[in-house]
Amino acid sequence: MKKKVTDALLIVLMLILAVSFLYPVFLILFNSLKEETSISTNTVFTLPTAETFAGLKNYWDAVTSKGFFVSFGYSLVITVTSVAAICLFCAMCAWFITRVQNKWTSMIYYLCVFSMVVPFQMVMYTLSKTADTLKLNTPWNIWVIYLGFGAGLAVFMFTGFMKSIPLEVEEAAMIDGCNPIQTFFRIVFPMLRPTMVSVGILEAMWVWNDYLLPTLVLDIKKYRTIPMLIQYFKGSYGKVEMGPMMASIMLTIIPIVIVYLAGQKHIIKGVAAGAVKG
Amino acid sequence: MEKVLKKYWPLFVVPTMAAFTIGFIVPFLQGLYLSFCQFTTIKKAKWVGFDNYIRVFTDDPEPLTDSLWFTVAFAAVSIVLINLIGFLFALVLTRGLKGTNLFRTVFFMPNLIGGVVLGYIWQILINGLLSVVGEPLLALNTTAGYWGLIILMCWQQVGYMMIIYIAGLQSVPESLIEAAKIDGATSLQTLLKIKIPMIMQSVTICVFLTLTNSFKLFDQNMALTNGEPMNTTTMLALNIYKTFYNRTGAQWKGLGQAKAVIFCILVVLISFGQLRATRGKEVQQ
């Protein structure tokens, strides 16, 4: 009986908390539906009325004149290429350094761990210059930079998992005549799938939302990813247009929420598994 | 197998390591070198020895120490709050309540929204609140900026830590808790003497993540307050960024790079120090 009452109280408390967790997003949603002229700091909590309701005008503006879809495309290209490269190449590298043990491979491992801790500001200036010199400053090849900077976490997580795979399966495959390439792609790669999902999700969350790296590496006049676009609205580039900005924030959040709801089981499992490996 | 595999290193190791060299090793070493130079571009660098490092403490319009204290004050409070709330959420959501999945989904969601977007969402919300109560807005209000950052980071990270704590709590063997109950332990005793010691590994990870995230925080800081008013809410990462990119002149980039090296050493020391300190408290299962 006592447990039932506590449980009921806890459910009510959790409901209140859940609503307050969603409120900030809801606030942006209804403000994005207001007329540009009636958005102001002191009326931010009032719902749109018949006079202030703008329909989807701000959204139309964000999409047509502010280039939202172009930015969305760039963000998508960068995230997909980077995550694919990280998952494939880092898995290969991790397999090699777990199975071949010498001073080089352990050096690679410790360098990777070290790179995870180093703050981005340490390399931001020199990295952006290196990227310019090597022409890695477009959305189509910035993945090389992301592979380099994201390798630490990925190699670390893959090696953590690799240590628990029995060596016998791979040895059997090699004795049966597989070369290392076949062994990796036919035997090891399929076994890595759960870890691959963890790594992929963590790296995708990072790349998709990353602001500073693309700002410094890409040419801001030509290419703007979504976080850069949001900052561009607010930045000192002219008058702040709150309506289209809030519409863009909503347009950014909606696909994330859809992806999240569709794959939340994997995402939450991936995060939990990733943390334990870490 | 090792012998055969060894010959394949160009295929397995070189792609990642080539990118790692371009994306990390070279910029890191160049950065280290440039912190001893005065420079406007990498090619036009003049060796000045420890000048930049001395200037960090004597002649810097955006003192690193101010940002350090602000960062420490922010980190101390946010690490405690995020972990405490995340753990409490995890405790409640491992009781088998109705709607557990829904709550878990909602609390985790803010994690997926990027720092810049989060910063602007909360800027709109907090400025709205401040204007309702008649207080100065974020651009003129250090206290609001400080608590705003803490609330924002709690909102974003509580769900993530909650997931890790839930995984930890679920791995505590049922038999241990049963045994404690039979021995007459109250639920508080079970929590303090069994559950918490058994999930020390999760605590290590969560404290590590919140600690490094707090010290390296940039996007949220830039979007929410951008250091306003008068750089009183500038954290370490933003401080360095401002020295690098908001100033023109030959003397600033070297200074910024020296500050970045100090920042880097600080973060590395704190991270590994924390790992060593809490790893010792873990229970072997």
ipTM of the complex: 0.88
Q: What are phi and psi of B46, to 5 degrees?
A: -115, 125
The CATH class for the domain spanning B53-279 reads mainly alpha
Asked whether the beta carbons of A125 and B275 are under 8 A apart, the reply is no
Q: CB–CB of A44 and B128 under 8 A?
A: yes
Pick the residue from chain B with its C-alpha nearest to A231: B116
**What's the pLDDT score for residue B191?**
87
Chain B closest-CA separation from residue A272 CA (Å): 5
Pick the residue from chain B with its C-alpha nearest to A183: B5
- How far, CA to CA in Å, does A11 sit from each of A6, B164, B207? 9, 21, 28
HEC readout, B236-261: HHHHHHHHHHCCCCCCHHHHHHHHHH
**What's the pLDDT score for residue B193?**
86
Q: CB–CB of A90 and B21 under 8 A?
A: no
Does the beta carbon of A215 lie under 8 angstroms from any beta carbon of chain B?
Answer: no
Helix residue spans in chain A (DSSP H): 2-31, 57-64, 68-99, 103-117, 124-133, 143-162, 167-175, 180-183, 189-191, 193-209, 212-217, 226-234, 242-277
Q: What are phi and psi of B39, to 5 degrees?
A: -155, 155
Does the beta carbon of B2 lie under 8 angstroms from any beta carbon of chain A?
Answer: yes
Asked whether the beta carbons of A58 and A250 are under 8 A apart, the reply is no
Mutation site for B-interface testing, chosen from A112, A121, A136, A144 by largest number of B Cβ within 10 Å: A121
- Both tokens of B151, joined, read 């609330």
**What's the pLDDT score for residue A12?**
93
Does the beta carbon of B285 lie under 8 angstroms from any beta carbon of chain A?
Answer: no
Q: CB–CB of A27 and B124 under 8 A?
A: yes
Indicate the domain borders of chain A: 2-56, 66-238
Strands B45-47 and B37-39: antiparallel
**What's the pLDDT score for residue B284?**
55
Superfamily of domain A66-238: MetI-like (1.10.3720.10)
Does the beta carbon of A118 lie under 8 angstroms from any beta carbon of chain B?
Answer: yes
Asked whether the beta carbons of B95 and A10 are under 8 A apart, the reply is yes
Q: CB–CB of B244 and A212 under 8 A?
A: no
Q: CB–CB of B16 and A256 under 8 A?
A: no
CA distance B205 to B211: 10
Return all residues near A168 (Cβ < 8 A) that are at least 6 apart: none
- Both tokens of A209, joined, read 């939302």
Q: CB–CB of B113 and A256 under 8 A?
A: yes
- Both tokens of A2, joined, read 């006592």
SS3 B37: strand
Q: Give the position of tokens 């540009």.
A: A36
| Predicted confidence (pLDDT) per residue in A226-255, tens digit | 888 888 877 655 567 788 888 888 988 888
Question: A242 to chain B: which residues are within 8 Å by CB?
Answer: 124
Low-confidence residues of chain B, pLDDT below 70?
A: 282-285
**What's the pLDDT score for residue B51?**
85
Q: CB–CB of A145 and B95 under 8 A?
A: no
Question: B223 to chain A: which residues are within 8 Å by CB?
Answer: 231, 234
Q: CB–CB of B237 and A147 under 8 A?
A: no
Low-confidence residues of chain A, pLDDT below 50?
A: 278
**What's the pLDDT score for residue B50?**
87
SS3 B15: helix
**What's the pLDDT score for residue B188?**
86
Indicate the domain borders of chain B: 53-279
**What's the pLDDT score for residue B265?**
95
